């Protein structure tokens, strides 16, 4: 609107009696051709529509979450009796059955583990202690503290003496007890951090927020050291603590007990963040005892060639294939497997997972989370393996398979033409391809 007003005033003839209009400090821009102006209007309107849709989606998720929490509070108030010894500080990590639609391998509901009216007391998971130890703890971005570790069958509890240096304007501070409970579904690994065997590394991946596909998980690494025991040496106490944590973590085994993994990374998918996402989660895979290997794709259909009939990847020794890329990357893997003569046996045995790094990540939005750490948690701990349907497309002698959907005609042409724009526009290439398509401006066959 401002540009149009400036153009009109610039072409108006002024008389001596008329006041001279004030112009902005910068010179007016020349008139924009109508075709370009119309194209800009289309882009601006689509951007505004996208922002409004995003805002409505966030508000809908917030409203739905409030309703779910209110309903759960009513249900639990009818079936549970709250006792003062059950009041605890909010846990930084939650069990998958309480925080996600995904269920643990045994299929039990998390609410069944809570104390019912008249049931015996006790903290679930800690009531049957595997052991407790005194040690020093070093938490992420926190100073060293005296701590105790109590390991139960389904969770462990860390407690530490924390001295806050400043509380408000009081320079004296005060001492208080800090506590964090970690469920077995959040423990990724626990092992010795030094050759001496008296220091433990505890790797934790928190449960993602359940009501949004954008929910993020957090990776934390704790150091437990200087174990104290009146009966054993520091090394023996550390070893006992490590073994207890490992037994507790086996309640939610990594990859449901599968151990042979191959990871296919597409570095140019979507925002070109595939390699960066892998570097972000590599430490998590490295701390486990999984037997994994990695391939970075170098060209289109590279993933297909890896797993296809003449592929270099030996699928007979693999349990899981993880794709770090977009929908196209996992589509190449599926089509490569389905082109093999032993596809039926492979599809029954192999498990596929995705850490989304593409433009749309439609499959991840339907089945998992779109952030790398949350998707990694789903693959390693918080999943339930189940079959999915495939769409088969037959054309003459050609057979293709799809997980998300199929497009043809104008939609297929826009997707095909957008590949040439990937390096320049990234995820916006579909919009640019549509604006440049002559079929939208000059309809044919009318």
Least confident of 69-73, 135-139, 235-239: 69-73
Tokens representing 142? Answer: 């926190």
Answer yes or no: do 212 and 274 share one domain. no
Average pLDDT of span 381-385: 85
Residue 31: inside a domain, yes or no?
no
What percent of the chain clears pLDDT 70, i.e. is strictly above it? 70
Given a cut of 80, whether residue 108 has pLDDT beyond it is no
Residue 322: inside a domain, yes or no?
yes
Answer yes or no: do 134 and 187 share one domain. yes
Residue 17: inside a domain, yes or no?
no
CATH value at residue 138: 2.30.29.30
Which pLDDT belongs to residue 35?
54
Comparing 11 with 17, the larger pLDDT belongs to 17
Q: How confident is the model at residue 344 (pLDDT cuts 50, 70, 90)?
A: very high
Given a cut of 50, whether residue 113 has pLDDT beyond it is no
User: Does an H or E element contain 261, and which?
Assistant: strand 260-265
Answer yes or no: do 268 and 390 share one domain. yes
Highest mean pLDDT, choosing among 95-99, 153-157, 193-197, 432-436: 153-157
What percent of the chain clears pLDDT 90, i.e. is strictly above it? 35
Comparing 100 with 391, the larger pLDDT belongs to 391
Q: Mark residue 361 as left, alpha or beta (left: phi above 0; alpha: psi -120 to 50; beta: remaining).
A: left
Mind listing the pLDDT tens digit for each residue in 37-56? 666 777 777 777 877 777 77
Mind listing the pLDDT tens digit for each residue in 257-268? 888 999 999 998
Given a cut of 80, whether residue 123 has pLDDT beyond it is no
Highest mean pLDDT, choosing among 100-109, 114-123, 151-160, 227-236: 151-160
Residue 40: inside a domain, yes or no?
no
CA distances from 171 to 35, 142, 146, 284 (A): 67, 19, 22, 40
Contact 140, 221 (CB under 8 A): yes
Tokens representing 121? Answer: 């007391």
Q: What is the mean pLDDT of the chain?
A: 75
Q: How confident is the model at residue 121 (pLDDT cuts 50, 70, 90)?
A: very low
Average pLDDT of span 11-21: 47
- Give the integer Cα–Cα distance in Å for 383 and 208: 12
Average pLDDT of span 279-288: 94
Contact 324, 357 (CB under 8 A): yes
Answer yes or no: do 265 and 386 share one domain. yes
Residues with Cβ within 8 Å of residue 74, at least 6 apart in sequence: none
Which pLDDT belongs to residue 304?
95
Which pLDDT belongs to residue 284?
95
Least confident of 82-91, 148-157, 220-229: 82-91
Contact 218, 211 (CB under 8 A): no
Q: How confident is the model at residue 435 (pLDDT cuts 50, 70, 90)?
A: confident
Q: How confident is the model at residue 205 (pLDDT cuts 50, 70, 90)?
A: very high
Q: How confident is the model at residue 404 (pLDDT cuts 50, 70, 90)?
A: confident
Which pLDDT belongs to residue 423?
66
The domain boundary residue, chosen from 235, 252, 269: 252
Least confident of 22-36, 122-136, 195-209, 264-278: 22-36
Answer yes or no: do 265 and 383 share one domain. yes
Answer yes or no: do 322 and 385 share one domain. yes
Answer yes or no: do 242 and 363 share one domain. no
Instruction: Return the beta strands (E) in 107-143 as ranges.
Output: 131-138
- Give the integer Cα–Cα distance in Å for 219 and 223: 14
Given a cut of 80, whether residue 126 has pLDDT beyond it is no
Residue 117: inside a domain, yes or no?
no
Which pLDDT belongs to residue 412?
74
Given a cut of 90, whether residue 422 has pLDDT beyond it is no
- Total domain count, the chain: 2
The domain boundary residue, chosen from 196, 228, 252: 252
Average pLDDT of span 99-122: 36
Which pLDDT belongs to residue 345?
93
Answer yes or no: do 299 and 202 share one domain. no
Average pLDDT of span 153-169: 68
Least confident of 45-59, 133-147, 393-407: 45-59
- Give the integer Cα–Cα distance in Å for 285 and 219: 12
Contact 343, 333 (CB under 8 A): no
Answer yes or no: do 235 and 315 share one domain. no
Average pLDDT of span 23-32: 51
Which pLDDT belongs to residue 72?
62
CATH value at residue 344: 3.40.50.10330
Q: What is the DSSP letter of 229?
A: -
The domain boundary residue, chosen from 216, 237, 252: 252
Residue 420: inside a domain, yes or no?
no
Least confident of 102-116, 157-171, 374-388: 102-116
Given a cut of 80, whether residue 444 has pLDDT beyond it is no
Average pLDDT of span 128-139: 90
Answer yes or no: do 207 and 273 share one domain. no
Residue 181: inside a domain, yes or no?
yes
Domain residues for 188? 96-104+127-252
For the chain, how many helices (H) and strands (E)?
14, 13
Q: What helix, strand, coil percent values describe the chain, rounded to 5?
A: 40, 20, 40
Average pLDDT of span 204-209: 88
Answer yes or no: do 238 and 308 share one domain. no
Answer yes or no: do 245 and 350 share one domain. no
Residue 222: inside a domain, yes or no?
yes
Q: Cα angle at 168 between 167 and 172, to 5 degrees?
A: 45
Given a cut of 50, whether residue 89 has pLDDT beyond it is no
Comparing 136 with 358, the larger pLDDT belongs to 136
Average pLDDT of span 281-288: 94
Provide φ and ψ at 11, rounded to 5°: -100, 5
Contact 244, 236 (CB under 8 A): no
Helix axes 34-79, 429-436, angle to 10 degrees: 140
User: CB burial class (10 A; 0-12, 13-18, 19+) of residue 191?
Assistant: middle
- Give the integer Cα–Cα distance in Å for 381 and 108: 15
Q: How confident is the model at residue 102 (pLDDT cuts 50, 70, 90)?
A: very low
């Amino acid at each position: 609107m401002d540009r149009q007003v400036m153009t009109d005033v610039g072409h108006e003839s002024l008389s001596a009696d008329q006041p001279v209009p004030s112009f902005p400090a910068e010179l007016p821009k020349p008139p924009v051709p109508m075709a370009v102006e119309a194209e800009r209007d289309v882009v601006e309107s689509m951007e505004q529509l996208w922002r409004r849709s995003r805002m409505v989606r966030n508000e809908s998720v917030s409203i739905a979450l409030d309703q779910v929490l209110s309903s759960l509070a009513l249900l639990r108030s009818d079936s549970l009796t709250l006792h003062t010894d059950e009041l605890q500080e909010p846990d930084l990590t939650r069990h998958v059955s309480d925080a996600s639609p995904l269920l643990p391998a045994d299929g039990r509901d998390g609410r069944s583990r809570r104390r019912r009216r008249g049931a015996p007391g006790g903290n679930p998971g800690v009531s049957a202690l595997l052991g407790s130890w005194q040690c020093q703890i070093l938490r992420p971005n926190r100073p060293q503290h005296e701590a105790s570790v109590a390991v139960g069958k389904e969770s462990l509890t860390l407690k530490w003496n924390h001295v806050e240096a400043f509380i408000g304007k009081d320079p004296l501070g005060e001492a208080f007890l800090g506590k964090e409970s970690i469920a077995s579904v959040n423990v990724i690994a626990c092992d010795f951090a030094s050759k001496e065997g008296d220091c433990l590394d505890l790797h934790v991946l928190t449960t993602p927020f359940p009501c949004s596909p954008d929910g993020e998980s957090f990776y934390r690494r704790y150091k437990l050291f200087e174990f104290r025991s009146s009966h054993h040496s520091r090394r023996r106490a550390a070893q006992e603590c490590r073994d207890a944590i490992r037994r507790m973590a086996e309640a939610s085994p990594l990859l449901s007990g599968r151990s042979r993994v191959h990871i296919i990374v597409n570095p140019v998918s979507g925002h070109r963040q595939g390699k960066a996402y892998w570097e972000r989660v590599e430490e998590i895979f490295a701390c486990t005892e999984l037997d994994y290997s990695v391939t970075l794709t170098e060209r289109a259909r590279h993933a297909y060639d890896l797993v296809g009939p003449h592929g270099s990847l030996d699928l007979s020794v693999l349990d899981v294939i993880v794709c770090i890329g977009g929908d196209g990357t996992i589509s190449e893997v599926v089509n490569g497997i389905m082109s093999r003569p032993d596809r039926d046996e492979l599809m029954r045995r192999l498990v596929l997972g995705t850490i989304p790094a593409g433009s749309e990540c439609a499959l991840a939005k339907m089945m998992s989370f779109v952030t790398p750490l949350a998707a990694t948690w789903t693959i390693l701990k918080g999943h339930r393996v189940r079959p999915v349907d495939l769409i088969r497309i037959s054309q003459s002698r050609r057979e293709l398979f799809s997980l998300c959907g199929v497009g043809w005609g104008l939609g297929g042409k826009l997707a095909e033409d957008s590949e040439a724009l990937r390096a320049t526009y990234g995820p916006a290439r579909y919009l640019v391809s549509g604006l440049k398509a002559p079929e939208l401006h000059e309809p044919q066959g009318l």
